[in-house]
Structure formats: structure tokens, C-alpha cells
């Protein structure tokens, strides 16, 4: 079983892909760990600027200490 890489309360950077539409890139806080039917686990995250919560895949997240590079 695959384990989540990030923990609740952790700060991460979201890197949107082509199919992510107008979802803003930037700093998010992990709100909840979600199950997934694929190897790409999911998280409920909250954007620190606009306050909106979204469900995002682990592959779109980076540890915020690594920067947005």
C-alpha cells in the first residue's frame, strides 16, 4: 500500500498542470489525506491567499521548503 508523502498541517507548493485550469499555483496547507484508487494519492488542501480548498494529486505538490522551482 502506498503511503502519503505529506502530513496534515504541512505547507506545500502546488504546481498546476495543463488540465488544472485556473487553479492558482502557490502555497497550500494540507487539510486532509484522501484515499485514491491510483498510485497518485490525493490531498484536500487550502490555498493560503484565497482560502479556497481543493483536492489535488500528490504528483502536483512539492515540499514548500524546496521552493517553486
> Could you give the number of structural domains in the chain?
1
The answer as to whether 4 is a domain residue is no
The answer as to whether 37 is a domain residue is yes
The answer as to whether 48 is a domain residue is yes
Q: Which residues contact 18 (CB under 8 A, 6 or more apart)?
A: none
Q: Residue 52 in contact with residue 46, Cβ under 8 Å? A: yes
pLDDT, tens digit only, all 69 positions of the chain: 678 999 999 999 998 877 777 888 889 999 999 988 888 999 999 999 999 999 999 999 999 876 544
The confidence score (pLDDT) of residue 1 equals 63
Measured CA to CA, the distance from residue 65 to residue 44 in angstroms comes to 19
- Domain that includes residue 49, residue range: 11-66
The answer as to whether 5 is a domain residue is no
Q: Which pTM was predicted?
A: 0.83
Amino acid at each position: 500500500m502506498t503511503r502519503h508523502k505529506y502530513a496534515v498541517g504541512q505547507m506545500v507548493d502546488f504546481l498546476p498542470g495543463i488540465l488544472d485550469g485556473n487553479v492558482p499555483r502557490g502555497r497550500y496547507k494540507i487539510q486532509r489525506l484522501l484515499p485514491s484508487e491510483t498510485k497518485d494519492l490525493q490531498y484536500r488542501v487550502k490555498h493560503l491567499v484565497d482560502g479556497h480548498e481543493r483536492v489535488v494529486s500528490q504528483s502536483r505538490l512539492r515540499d514548500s521548503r524546496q521552493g517553486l522551482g
